[in-house]
Amino acid sequence: MKSINLANPGRRRVLQLVGVSTALLLQGLPVAIRAAEDSRMKIGIIGSGRVGAGIGSAWVNAGHEVMFSSRHIEHDDALAARLGANAKAGTPRQAAAFGDVVMVSVPYGALPSVGKDLATLLEGKVVIDTCNPFVWRDGDIATWARETGAGLASAELLPGARIVRAFNAIGAARMATAHENPGRVAMPFASDDAQAIEIGSRLIRDIGYEPVLIGGLSMGKYLMPGTPLAGEHTIDEINAIVATLE
């Protein structure tokens, strides 16, 4: 899927994914994901800090099966116990194998290791990338990612994955409560993969946000704190901001 010319007002309907053929988007998806379109999905979370725990908890509440993983299995065990039968805890490898969809929510400096260690398990899967590169925390890899563009950099570090860059520009504190006012806040996201766009859109809606596709992974550089898209915005506000970006 090519990047969208966002400066063209006629593309606005595309941003909201209106008129996309479901049959086309689902063609070629793994059987597990096709079946999950009408039921619950299995989601593996690698990195269960504030973002991973908050979003994962909301997905559990929406009826999905979620496996949490991090370097602290005792934290994940306690989180899963609080959330009930649809929540599990495991190692990152177990979470990557478990999920029809995998969300990676780790410091950007850890992303190369995730891509190397879990390459065979992530290949061909929809992977939601929430990771932001911060030079003060992540060092040289963050400098490279910012120069390359965070979306394109993540694609290099997670080869073979169907990447959706999302949940990067909104504060973690409110992510678990967006379902209380569904659709009030829009969630900008970027992806080059049609099937990943369909799955990612559904999962964004399932926790209470309205998905807005801003373009391909080259636009992922704008999905970070400190950019005009950071913070909470409506659909119209996001479309207006995107129209000003290159």
Give me the residue spans of the domains in the chain: 9-242
The pairing of beta strand 42-46 with beta strand 162-165: unpaired
Confirm if 150 and 224 have CB atoms less than 8 A apart: yes
Instruction: Please tell me the distance from the alpha carbon of residue 189 to that of residue 139, in angstroms, as a whole number.
Output: 25
pLDDT of residue 3: 37
Instruction: For residue 143, report the phi and psi dihedrals to the nearest 5 degrees.
Output: -60, -45
Q: Which of 109, 105, 104 is nearest to 142 (CA)?
A: 109
Helix (H, G, I), strand (E, B) or coil at 208: coil
User: Looking at residue 174, what is its pLDDT?
Assistant: 72
Beta bridge partners of 87: 66
81: number of CA atoms within 13 Å, CB side? 6
Burial category of 82 from C-beta neighbours within 10 Å (exposed 0-12, middle 13-18, buried 19 and up):
exposed
Cα(244)–Cα(204) distance, integer angstroms: 24
Name the token pair of 111. 């992303």
Fold entry, domain 9-242:
Rossmann fold (3.40.50)
| pLDDT tens across the length of the chain (246 residues) | 333 333 443 344 334 433 333 333 334 444 444 434 456 899 999 999 999 999 999 999 999 999 999 999 999 999 999 999 999 999 999 999 999 999 999 999 999 999 999 999 999 999 999 999 999 999 999 999 999 999 999 999 999 999 999 999 887 777 767 767 766 889 999 999 999 999 999 999 999 899 999 999 999 999 999 999 999 999 999 999 999 996
Handedness of CA 21, 189, 54, 181 (dihedral sign): negative
Long-range residue pairs from 117-120, CB within 8 A, at least 24 positions apart, any chain? 117/92, 117/93, 118/46, 118/92, 118/93, 119/159, 119/160
Show Cβ contacts of residue 63 under 8 Å, excluding neighbours closer than 6 positions: 40, 86
